[in-house]
């Protein structure tokens, strides 16, 4: 594929390394804008698939991998597969992704069944933990947001707004989101809860 240098990093997004770029199914893409376009189309197909899923075993790494595959398989050969390289955005080593996800889903089942955490807290913790593990080479933020919404919907909870008041200012919205994740890294979830639940 030519012009690989056009795949520029966005603030808070995972830089695409050579191995990831060679995993692309559409070799004619040369800019990040073109990549976003075809990914958005694929994501819509994945969302349609997700809307039909009624399985009881949705709190599992298998379900999460299938979701990622459905969201990105038209674009990336590695869709649905765990990353095999290390990334600066995660302290989880690649060989620990599967064990960390197993622990996460066991925790999530307890959060939901015990009822000791509010759904605001569950959604924030769930979103932050998955983003922190960073299971896939790319598309983690989008997959995690979609998955968080799905879990809330399956449990008859209001969907997050993702800071709807900043919808017209994507740069500021992204900055606020990254700041909320950094605060959650230090155990402070109130900014992330506010980001998720702020009324439209």
User: Does 35 fall in a domain?
Assistant: yes
- For the chain, give the percent of residues with pLDDT over 90: 74
Q: What pLDDT is recorded for position 2?
A: 35
Q: How far apart are CA 113 and CA 107, in angstroms?
A: 10
CATH number, domain with residue 37: 1.10.3290.10
What mean pLDDT value characterizes the chain? 88
User: Does 143 fall in a domain?
Assistant: yes
As a three-state string, the secondary structure of 47-113 is HHHHHCCCCCCCCCHHHHHHHHHHHHCCCECCCCCCCCCCCCCCCCCHHHHHHHHHHHHHHHHHHHH
Into how many domains does the chain fold? 1
User: Does 20 fall in a domain?
Assistant: yes
Q: How far apart are CA 188 and CA 108, in angstroms?
A: 18
Q: How far apart are CA 168 and CA 117, in angstroms?
A: 32
Q: How far apart are CA 149 and CA 198, in angstroms?
A: 14
User: Does 112 fall in a domain?
Assistant: yes
Q: What is the pLDDT of residues 51-95, one digit of tens each?
A: 999 999 999 999 999 999 999 999 999 999 999 999 998 999 999
With a cut of 90, say whether residue 15 has pLDDT above it: no
User: Does 196 fall in a domain?
Assistant: no
Domain range for residue 123?
4-160
User: Does 153 fall in a domain?
Assistant: yes
Q: What is the pLDDT of residues 114-148, one digit of tens each?
A: 988 999 999 999 999 999 999 999 899 999 999 99
- Contact between 84 and 94 (Cβ < 8 Å): yes
With a cut of 70, say whether residue 21 has pLDDT above it: no
Q: How far apart are CA 41 and CA 62, in angstroms?
A: 23
Q: Dig out the tokens for 171 from the structure.
A: 């740069």
| Residue 19 confidence class, pLDDT cut points 50, 70, 90 | low
User: Does 192 fall in a domain?
Assistant: no
Classify each residue of 60-79 as buried b or exposed e, where b means 16 or more C-beta atoms within 10 Å of its C-beta.
Answer: bbebbbbbbbbbbbbbbebb
User: Does 117 fall in a domain?
Assistant: yes
Query: What global pTM score does this model have?
Result: 0.86
With a cut of 70, say whether residue 4 has pLDDT above it: no
Q: How far apart are CA 18 and CA 89, in angstroms?
A: 18
């Amino acid at each position: 594929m030519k012009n690989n240098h056009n795949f520029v990093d966005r603030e808070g997004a995972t830089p695409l390394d050579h191995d990831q770029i060679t995993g692309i199914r559409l070799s004619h893409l040369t800019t990040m804008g073109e990549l976003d376009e075809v990914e958005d189309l694929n994501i819509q197909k994945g969302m349609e698939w997700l809307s039909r899923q009624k399985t009881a075993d949705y709190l599992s790494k298998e379900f999460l991998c299938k979701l990622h595959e459905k969201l990105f398989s038209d674009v990336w050969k590695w869709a649905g597969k765990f990353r095999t390289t290390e990334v600066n955005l995660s302290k989880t080593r690649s060989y620990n992704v599967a064990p960390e996800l197993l622990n996460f889903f066991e925790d999530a089942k307890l959060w939901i069944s015990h009822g000791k955490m509010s759904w605001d807290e569950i959604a924030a913790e769930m979103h932050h933990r998955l983003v922190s593990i960073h299971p896939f080479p790319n598309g983690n933020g989008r997959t995690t947001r979609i998955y968080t919404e799905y879990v809330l919907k399956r449990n008859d909870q209001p969907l997050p707004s993702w800071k709807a008041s900043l919808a017209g200012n994507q740069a500021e919205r992204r900055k606020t989101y990254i700041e909320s994740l950094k605060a959650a890294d230090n155990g402070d979830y109130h900014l992330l809860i506010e980001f998720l639940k702020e009324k439209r």
